[in-house]
A and B are shown apart, each in its own frame.
Chain A
Amino acid sequence: MLSVDKLTKVYKTGDKALTDVSFTVPKGQVVGLIGPSGAGKSTLIRCVNRLVEPTEGTVRLNDLDITRLRAGELRRARRRIGMIFQEYALVERLTVMENVLSGRLGYVPFWRSFTRRFPGEDIAKAFRLLDRVGLSAHADKRADALSGGQRQRVGIARALEQDPELLLVDEPTASLDPKTSRQIMRLIVEICRESGLPAIINIHDVVLAQQFADRIIGLQAGRVVFDGPATGLTEAVLTQIYGEEDWTAMRQAAAEDEAAEAEQRDEAKKMMRAL
């Protein structure tokens, strides 16, 4: 369980990115964090694993106060928090397998990681995860040889390789096309359901957030302005978070996208049967 209490972040420039943000995420819950650009979504999830140092407030993961940890303890805490990034953030010149195995860096001593001699169970786990995300054939390819959707799958496998107790997901679909976006979101949410893994997903696509998250937290200028089930995201709430916009039209377009995709799937199935 993650609990964030009165979290505030003021950058050196004096910009207040977060103000008094509090919420708790129980085991197995998938939270969609929405809000306009610059609302503090990225800062918030980076405060959880302290890639960004919070100014005030506490972050607790299963009763471990992350905000008070020293460098060594912080590294041990970070290995239990998987993170998935917007532009995949794979190390491009390393192979897919090395990228996935890098999820174990917090667990193995330097010489083992340097010589790439990871323990057998770590390697087995990596192969299993690559199979889970559908990339077992690509293990020895260089990460920059993959497409966007494939790279994000590697990113997911890397995060899961850490044996995380929490997933932080930063705009996983921002550089993907609509169809791949949905596939990636579906994969992340499925995996969370399988292992009861809680996740915070930063996402600016409201429709995707509503479709896949159990709960939505809306940020506006660094403050929580909405916190509730995905169904509670009414026009009025969206307008409060993002300002005036034609929400009905946007939803309709997304629904059409999905209908087209479903149709395509049916067609493909028919084709397969015909063959």
Chain B
Amino acid sequence: MTDTAAPVSPGMSPGTYPTRWKRPPQMIKSRFWRYALAIGALVWLVLALGTIEVNWQRVMVGMERGQRFIAGFLQPDFTTRWRDISTGLIESLTMTLTSTVVGVLISIPIGIGAARNVAPRWIYAICRGIIAVSRALQEIIVAIFFVALFGFGAFAGFLTLTFATIGFIGKLLAEDIEDIDESQAEAIRATGASWFQLINYAIQPQVMPRLIGLSLYRLDINFRESAVIGIVGAGGIGATLNTALNRYEYDSAGAVLLIIIAIVMISEYSSGYLRRWVQ
């Protein structure tokens, strides 16, 4: 190769280079549109705020009720309704664990099917479809549907959470599989391995730690969700919470909320620890 570039002379004085530099505009090149958009957004915000109607009298009444709620929260009553609380809690924990296990088991084949690099086109389309449906429907709507179908109680909650888990784990697992190091898969393919062997030897070792991490994460999401869907009749600690609120027993409600917070924190710390351990 012939070297045509002129050599840079080392004695060049620093004075010949500019000393000022401005970062080029990031998103909008034209100065006019930059200002116009900012002013427009501000005007829109002011107008939008003007349309909100606030009933100050209602707020005053609500303040008082809020105060009682906070007072109940500060003096939680675990004992009076302990029987209800413990039944609800056990129901919720059962619902959470079973739905996470079943949901993860179902979402593994769906997640693999939804990964473009290991699944044929038509399977990919079907699996992505299932994931899209599961993610599009909000838990509460699904819970209302299942409660209508199977009646009040934990079974409806179990189905709801399983359904939601499939969309969540399926999507994230599929994305993780699409992000793997392809050279490892290529090497396994080159040995004459079958598709199942490829999944077992090249894909599984690469995605397993993340799958475990996601499952643990979903476990605590499911627990929190079980409190929410209980309010629409799907059983568990949510139902207990709802009953307490309806009876204006804010001290019992406070106890329920504190228990939920404690369990979520425990699962948060233990899942962090487990995730580090599986790496």
A49 x B184 contact (CB < 8 A):
no
Contacts A114-B200, A245-B1; is A93 near B205 (CB within 8 Å)? yes
Chain A contacts of B201 at CB under 8 A?
A: 91, 94, 98, 102, 105, 113
Contact of B188 among A76, A80, A105, A245 (CB under 8 A): A105
Contact of B193 among A83, A105, A243 (CB under 8 A): A105
Beyond the given A85-B183, A91-B206, A158-B187, please list 11 additional residue pairs across the A-B interface where CB-CB is below 8 A: A51-B190, A78-B189, A81-B190, A85-B186, A92-B206, A94-B205, A102-B191, A114-B196, A162-B191, A162-B192, A244-B1
Asked if B202 is an interface residue, CB under 8 A from chain A, the answer is yes
Pairs of residues from A and B, 10 with the lowest C-beta to C-beta distance, nearest first: A106-B192, A79-B192, A105-B193, A89-B187, A78-B192, A93-B205, A89-B183, A83-B190, A75-B192, A105-B197
Instruction: List B110-140 residues whose CB lies under 8 Å from chain A.
Output: none
Contact with A along B176-218 (1 / 0, CB 8 A): 0000010110111111111011001110011011000000000
Contact of B194 among A75, A81, A158 (CB under 8 A): A75
Contacts A89-B187, A90-B187; is A105 near B205 (CB within 8 Å)? no
A106 x B193 contact (CB < 8 A):
yes
The CA of A75 and the CA of B198, in the complex, are separated in Å by 12
The CA of A92 and the CA of B209, in the complex, are separated in Å by 13
Shortest A47–chain B CB gap in Å is 13
Chain A contacts of B188 at CB under 8 A?
A: 91, 102, 105
A89 x B186 contact (CB < 8 A):
yes
Asked if B9 is an interface residue, CB under 8 A from chain A, the answer is no
Shortest B259–chain A CB gap in Å is 38
Contacts A89-B183, A245-B1; is A49 near B205 (CB within 8 Å)? no
Chain A contacts of B190 at CB under 8 A?
A: 49, 51, 78, 81, 83, 168
A91 x B202 contact (CB < 8 A):
yes
Contact with B along A89-109 (1 / 0, CB 8 A): 111111000100011111100
Main secondary structure of the interface of A (DSSP, over half): loop
B192 x A105 contact (CB < 8 A):
yes
B184 x A89 contact (CB < 8 A):
yes
The CA of A94 and the CA of B201, in the complex, are separated in Å by 8
The CA of A91 and the CA of B188, in the complex, are separated in Å by 9
The CA of A107 and the CA of B191, in the complex, are separated in Å by 9
A residues neighboring B (CB under 8 Å):
49, 51, 75-81, 83, 85-87, 89-94, 98, 102-107, 110, 113-114, 155, 158, 162, 168, 243-245
The CA of A84 and the CA of B157, in the complex, are separated in Å by 52
The CA of A217 and the CA of B189, in the complex, are separated in Å by 26
Shortest A128–chain B CB gap in Å is 18
Chain A contacts of B209 at CB under 8 A?
A: 93
Contact of B184 among A80, A86, A91, A245 (CB under 8 A): A91
Q: List 25 A-B contacts (CB under 8 A).
A: A51-B189, A75-B192, A75-B193, A75-B194, A77-B192, A79-B191, A85-B187, A90-B187, A91-B201, A92-B205, A93-B209, A94-B201, A102-B191, A102-B201, A105-B188, A105-B191, A105-B193, A106-B192, A106-B193, A110-B200, A113-B193, A113-B200, A114-B196, A114-B200, A158-B191
Q: How many interface residues does chain B have, given as a range?
A: 20 to 34
Asked if B16 is an interface residue, CB under 8 A from chain A, the answer is no
The CA of A83 and the CA of B186, in the complex, are separated in Å by 10
Asked if B2 is an interface residue, CB under 8 A from chain A, the answer is yes
Chain A contacts of B200 at CB under 8 A?
A: 110, 113-114
Question: Whose C-beta in chain B lies nearest to the C-beta of A93?
Answer: B205
Contacts A91-B202, A93-B208, A244-B1; is A106 near B191 (CB within 8 Å)? yes
Contact with A along B149-189 (1 / 0, CB 8 A): 00000000000000000000000000000000101101111
Instruction: List B224-248 residues whose CB lies under 8 Å from chain A.
Output: none
Chain B contacts of A51 at CB under 8 A?
A: 186, 189-190
The CA of A83 and the CA of B192, in the complex, are separated in Å by 11
Contact of A103 among B2, B191, B194, B206 (CB under 8 A): B191
B191 x A78 contact (CB < 8 A):
yes
- Scoring B184, B196, B206 by chain A CB atoms within 10 A of each residue's CB, the highest score goes to B184
The CA of A89 and the CA of B205, in the complex, are separated in Å by 13
Chain B contacts of A93 at CB under 8 A?
A: 205-206, 208-209
Question: Whose C-beta in chain B lies nearest to the C-beta of A98?
Answer: B201
Shortest B46–chain A CB gap in Å is 52
Chain A contacts of B206 at CB under 8 A?
A: 91-93
The CA of A86 and the CA of B182, in the complex, are separated in Å by 13
Contacts A113-B197, A113-B201, A162-B192; is A87 near B208 (CB within 8 Å)? no
Shortest B192–chain A CB gap in Å is 3
Chain A contacts of B197 at CB under 8 A?
A: 105, 110, 113-114
The CA of A263 and the CA of B208, in the complex, are separated in Å by 48
Chain B contacts of A155 at CB under 8 A?
A: 187
- Scoring A85, A89, A90, A245 by chain B CB atoms within 10 A of each residue's CB, the highest score goes to A89
